[in-house]
Structures are given as C-alpha cells and as structure tokens.
Amino acid sequence: MENRMALIGDPFPELEVQTTHGVKYLPGDYSGKWFILFSHPSDFTPVCTTEFVAFQKLYDEFQALNCDLIGLSVDQVFSHIKWVEWIKDNLKVEIKFPIIADHTADVSHALGLIHPGKGTTTVRAVFIVDPTGTIRAILYYPQELGRNMQEILRMVKGFQLLDAHDVALPANWPENELIGSEVIVPPASDVDTAEQRPKDYDCFDWWFCHKAV
C-alpha cells in the first residue's frame, strides 16, 4: 500500500512481528479470522495493566466470534514476558494472547501509533480487521484514558451482523432508545422501493425502516 497512515477499508499492511508467542506474519497468519491489534503505551503501568486484564476477561467471548487479540508496545519482548508473569502471579489472570515487541518502533510508525506531543510511546490504538485482512475500524485513545473493551466486543458482533444481513445498526445497539435490538434497513434508492418499504417493514418514514434479525 502507499506510504500513508492506514485507513478504514484498506488492507492491513503486511508485517513481520516478534511476539511473546514467537514470530508472526500479519495479516497472513490470521487469514480467515477476525483480529484486533491494540497498542498500549508501556508495560508495568497501571492503566495498561487494567486493560490487559479486561481484554483477557473477555478473551473467550472474542474467541467465540472467531476473533483473536494481539497486543503491542515499543517494549522489548523480555519486558512483555515479565509483565505477563507479574499479572499472573499478582492478579491471578493469565494473558493468553500474544504481545508484539516493537522495540524498533517500525510497526508503530507504519500504523501511526506514535503521535506528536505524546513522546516516543504508542497511543492506545485499536485496529479491527476482518477475515479478508481488511481494516474495518480504527480507534485512538490518549494514553491517560483506558478503553472500554465491551464496546470493542460490541463492534465485532456488530460487524458480523452487518456482513450477514446487509443492514445498518443504530446508536447504542443492541439497546437503542428507539428500536431496541432491531436493525436499520438500508435506505431506498428509487421511488418504487420507497413506496414499498412501509408495507414490508416497521417504519418511522420511508427512509427510516427497521426490522428484527
């Protein structure tokens, strides 16, 4: 791909990375699976530790969605290993997903994870990548604000529903204030379809129809 920051809809860049589970090739090693690559500023820091525990607590739910987790920071691999050991020994949580050791920062620069004004460590970025290796979502958080892992899990569930049914999802799905867990039917693109929509679906108007799936 061209030399610019990756965007939604782009293929995830091909990368060879060193992880706590050995060398991996992205996205090829995850072909046919969803994966979430998330960066954290540094090992042995409080916010990052809470995030890793939170991700691990949802690990089985991500796995049930055919979705793997991959952490990343600019720390060395021995630091990752020692930190994972510390979490297991002191917090009784075993981190089962790999962590990329990007000590050269090559991967971080390629993905736009090091932002001006935030030093040489990575921001809290999240890339959601589908089974074809396409980037479906990118999230950036400042170093001071921990992520909401339930929202990331919701996004994966949402993308899988969108792909299966060719629909759109409302705000706060599946607990939307107007239509609950129902989904939005794509807008009509011609007059005949617009007239037919209220006959086929529940609608607020022809351009705002919804249904259960």
The helix (run of H) or strand (run of E) holding residue 36 is strand 34-39
Q: What is the DSSP string of 44-94?
A: S-HHHHHHHHHHHHTHHHHHHTTEEEEEEESS-HHHHHHHHHHHHHHH---
Catalytic one of 48, 67, 203, 209: 48
Active-site residue flag, 48:
yes
Strand order in the sheet with 99-101: 22-26, 15-19, 99-101, 67-73, 34-39, 124-129, 135-141
d(CA 97, CA 70): 6
Rg of the chain's alpha carbons, rounded to an integer? 20
Residue with tokens 């890793």: 52
Catalytically annotated residues: 48
